[in-house]
């Protein structure tokens, strides 16, 4: 069975043979789908027959795209403030129209809604249609409304100020002068002024903060008027403008800091922080709401490398579609309960299950577990879904995050009941299962029975999930009149297939790698001459090498980039592209024992090395001081020996002239003392040929002295020194 879902892109050929790409915007129970041409600048929604679309796909004349040209990842931090403002303003305009779905797809009603919007917001009709078209064509999420110039130009690149004034020329430059360039010294003044006059509880407007800055830092003396000293501003051509001041403010402003300083931290948390709370969205069909939760498995597992080693109890994550009770994703492992475990489960929910099951030796068909989409909203039981980690997923994937509150226990109970089902199925068969009498006196230690490893246990859970999705009779589930009229059995997968066909689909397909990229933690790395530095390690890729990143860093200085990383294995980091539709995979180039390690392991190693260094600093410093003293003693003794007057006095020229002969004589002496002699030392007279024996006088005249003579002289010198 071929499944198409909202946000899928269909690719076919037009009458002229040109390729056409259409995005599915909406589907209903009466075999109607709404699509829009992704590439046409004048496209509007069109009605299509779902059955005809499926028939054409079966004939091979139409295919479902594997990739989405606009399904990319865009980090909220990478969007400049101006683009955010334009996006949010556009969203404010089109949101009321989008809420009228599916009525907005009808030409007459859409025209009325657009006229009403034009009257309410004071924009023209062309602007409203342009925003709507962009929203529909680019994936139906808020970031689709980011202006196109966000991807153009040298965004974020600092312009170097020279002698000539940079930027837009002044219209009245003949009167006011060309103005000044903003160098680092003036930027420093700007930052001080923002801290002193804007980020304060006085809540000064930015214009007032600018004027107070001019009063404090851009004056040239005073004038006395009515006994009051009034500052005199420097000429306009020599002082910065409000545009320059506001530009730096917008570029470097910290919303959280500004709001907290001006209104208090409580106000920020209440009004301005990202909204991660619950939503009142109704359950219109599959994908309207996923619920995620984790539990600690009541079974002890053994190591896959040595079955005698017990590794403890696994963590089981489940992602369930609330409308159909289908298990859309799962994770069994040792991570969590934590964001990493939730990340794995959510990634699995958006992954192809045929390939996933094959990894564990389980063969299923596409229709046995067709869930590979992201939902409209996710409900979690607080904890891992709180804080800043899900914010990237919210902004880029357009997924709402709801945290269960005390009055939403009924929703949490859906997945809790599923965990009880797993427990009942596992208990009779799996050795190492923890029973209710565990740790009581006289009770059996179930840990000793553990011999199943985590891979085998995962395969067991997969089989349970597949059987559950295809066979579980949900006697307690509510069915509406339409489902009853269609004689739908209350079985999770049957409800899933019925809901996709008959209800407004909320499921969206996004490439698996993009989903994972959105789920990964993000960080900031530095590009240096040694590589991309992150967490005390260095990375590179073919792209960074071919584009000479590291040569530029060595010659022009390092810079910082945003990256994503997998905290369980730091062998790779990922550089996101500006448009979020691709990424560059960088691999570790300096392992030093870090290969295959998690970020926790690496942080432990770094902390351990720092501790060892600190502990040994004292001893190392003392050893170095001792070495300095010993070197100084040797040098002093050498100087004293030289100045003692012992030995033959020679002129400076003679001393320099005989360096080569002196070296040869010294080498002969050293050779005798350094030469290897195996066995017992023999100390006795040596046989000498008297005819060839040198005399002291004639050999000294040649510059060569008998070795025994030199040794004798050295011994005499040492004896006199001891006296």
Range of 5-19, 379-393, 408-422, 454-468 with top mean pLDDT: 454-468
pLDDT band at 446 (very low <50, low <70, confident <90, very high): low
Of 74-88, 160-174, 300-314, 471-485, minimum mean pLDDT range: 160-174
SS3 at position 183: coil
Q: What is the pLDDT of residue 162?
A: 52
The helix (H) or strand (E) run that includes residue 311 is strand 310-312
Average pLDDT (607-624) is: 79
The torsion of the CA quartet 436, 438, 444, 446, rounded to 10 degrees, works out to 100
* Residue that wins the pLDDT comparison between 93 and 536: 93
Range of 35-49, 138-152, 176-190, 574-588 with top mean pLDDT: 35-49
pLDDT of 438 over the 50 cut: no
CB-count burial class (<10 Å; 0-12, 13-18, 19+) for 496: buried
Q: What is the pLDDT of residue 630?
A: 87
pLDDT of 664 over the 70 cut: yes
Whose tokens are 């004689």? That residue is: 487
Q: What is the pLDDT of residue 434?
A: 57
Q: What is the pLDDT of residue 177?
A: 60
Q: Is the Cα dihedral 637, 638, 641, 644 positive or negative?
A: negative
- CA 496/CA 368 separation, integer angstroms: 11
Whose tokens are 């410093």? That residue is: 621
Could you tell me the CA-to-CA distances from 380 to 330, 388, 410 in Å, in that order? 14, 15, 13
pLDDT band at 386 (very low <50, low <70, confident <90, very high): low
pLDDT band at 553 (very low <50, low <70, confident <90, very high): very high
Closest to 102 measured CA to CA, from 505, 480, 378? 505
Q: Which residues contact 455 (CB under 8 A, 6 or more apart)?
A: 304, 360
Of 51-65, 67-81, 195-209, minimum mean pLDDT range: 67-81
pLDDT of 167 over the 70 cut: no
- CA 451/CA 453 separation, integer angstroms: 6
pLDDT of 499 over the 60 cut: yes
Angle between helices 242-252 and 206-217 (to 10 degrees): 120
Q: Is the Cα dihedral 140, 141, 142, 145 positive or negative?
A: negative
Question: How many CB atoms are located within 10 Å of the residue 359 CB?
Answer: 11
Q: What is the pLDDT of residue 406?
A: 42
* Residue that wins the pLDDT comparison between 281 and 644: 644
Of 326-335, 659-668, 691-700, minimum mean pLDDT range: 691-700
- Is the distance from CB of 75 to CB of 89 less than 8 angstroms? no
Closest to 193 measured CA to CA, from 168, 167, 211, 175? 211
pLDDT of 327 over the 80 cut: yes
The whole-chain average pLDDT of the chain stands at 76
């Amino acid at each position: 069975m071929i499944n198409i879902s909202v946000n899928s892109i269909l690719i076919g050929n037009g009458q002229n043979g040109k390729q056409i790409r259409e995005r599915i915007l909406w589907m209903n129970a009466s075999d109607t789908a709404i699509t829009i041409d992704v590439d046409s600048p004048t496209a509007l929604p069109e009605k299509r027959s779902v059955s005809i679309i499926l028939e054409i796909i079966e004939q091979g004349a139409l295919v479902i795209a594997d990739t989405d040209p606009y399904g990319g990842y865009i980090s909220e931090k990478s969007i400049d403030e101006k683009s955010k403002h334009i996006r949010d303003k556009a969203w404010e305009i089109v949101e009321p129209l989008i809420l009228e779905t599916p009525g907005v797809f009808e030409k007459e009603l859409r025209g009325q809604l657009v006229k009403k919007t034009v009257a309410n917001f004071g924009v023209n009709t062309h602007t409203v249609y342009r925003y709507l078209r962009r929203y529909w064509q680019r994936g139906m999420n808020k970031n689709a409304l980011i202006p196109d110039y966000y991807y153009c130009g040298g965004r974020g690149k600092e312009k170097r100020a020279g002698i000539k004034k940079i930027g837009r020329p002044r219209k009245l430059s003949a009167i006011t002068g060309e103005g000044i360039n903003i160098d680092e010294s003036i930027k420093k003044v700007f930052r001080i002024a923002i801290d002193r006059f804007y980020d304060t509880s006085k809540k000064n407007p930015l214009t007032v903060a600018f004027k107070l800055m001019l009063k404090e830092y851009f004056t040239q003396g005073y004038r006395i008027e009515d006994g009051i000293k009034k500052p005199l501003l420097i000429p306009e051509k020599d002082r910065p403008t409000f545009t320059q001041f506001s530009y730096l403010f917008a570029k470097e402003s910290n919303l959280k800091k500004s709001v907290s300083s001006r209104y208090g931290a409580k106000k920020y948390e209440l009004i301005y922080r990202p909204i991660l709370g619950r939503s009142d969205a109704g359950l219109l069909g599959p994908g309207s709401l996923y619920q995620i939760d984790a539990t600690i498995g009541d079974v002890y597992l053994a190591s896959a490398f040595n079955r005698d080693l017990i590794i403890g109890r696994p963590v089981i994550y489940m992602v369930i579609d609330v409308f159909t009770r289908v298990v859309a994703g799962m994770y069994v492992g040792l991570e969590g309960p934590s964001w990493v475990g939730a990340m794995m489960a959510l990634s699995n929910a958006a992954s192809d299950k045929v390939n996933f099951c094959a990894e564990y030796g389980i063969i299923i068909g596409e229709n046995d577990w067709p869930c590979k989409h992201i939902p409209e909203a996710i409900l979690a039981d607080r904890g891992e879904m709180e804080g800043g980690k899900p914010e990237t997923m919210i902004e880029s994937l357009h997924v709402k995050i709801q945290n269960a509150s005390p009055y939403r226990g009924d929703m949490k109970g859906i997945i809790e009941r599923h965990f009880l089902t797993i427990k009942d199925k596992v208990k009779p068969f799996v050795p190492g299962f923890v029973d209710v009498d565990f740790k009581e006196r006289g009770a059996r230690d179930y840990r000793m029975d553990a011999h199943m490893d985590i891979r085998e246990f995962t395969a067991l859970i997969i089989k349970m999930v597949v059987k559950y999705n295809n066979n579980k009779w949900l006697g307690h589930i509510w069915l509406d009149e339409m489902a009853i009229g269609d004689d739908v059995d209350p079985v999770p997968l049957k409800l899933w297939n019925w809901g996709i066909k008959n209800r407004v689909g909320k499921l969206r397909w996004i490439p698996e790698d993009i989903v994972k990229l959105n789920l990964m933690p993000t960080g900031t790395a530095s590009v240096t001459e040694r590589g991309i530095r992150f967490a005390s390690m260095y990375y590179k890729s073919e792209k960074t090498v071919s584009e000479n990143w590291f040569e530029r860093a060595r010659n022009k200085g390092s810079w910082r980039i945003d990256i994503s990383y997998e905290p369980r294995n730091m062998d790779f980091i990922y550089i996101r592209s500006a448009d979020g539709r691709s990424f560059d995979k960088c691999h570790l180039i300096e392992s030093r024992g870090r290969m295959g390690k998690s970020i926790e392991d690496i942080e432990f190693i770094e902390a351990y090395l720092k501790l060892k260094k600190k502990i040994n600093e004292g001893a190392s410093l003392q050893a170095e001081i001792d070495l300095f003293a010993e070197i100084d003693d040797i040098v002093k003794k050498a100087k004293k020996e030289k100045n003692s007057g012992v030995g033959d006095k020679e002129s400076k020229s003679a001393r320099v002239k005989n360096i080569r002969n002196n070296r040869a004589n010294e080498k002969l002496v050293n050779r005798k003392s350094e030469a290897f002699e195996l066995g017992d030392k023999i100390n006795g007279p040596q046989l000498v040929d008297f005819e060839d024996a040198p005399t002291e006088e004639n050999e000294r005249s040649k510059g060569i002295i008998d070795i025994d003579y030199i040794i004798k002289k050295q011994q005499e010198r040492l004896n006199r020194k001891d006296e």
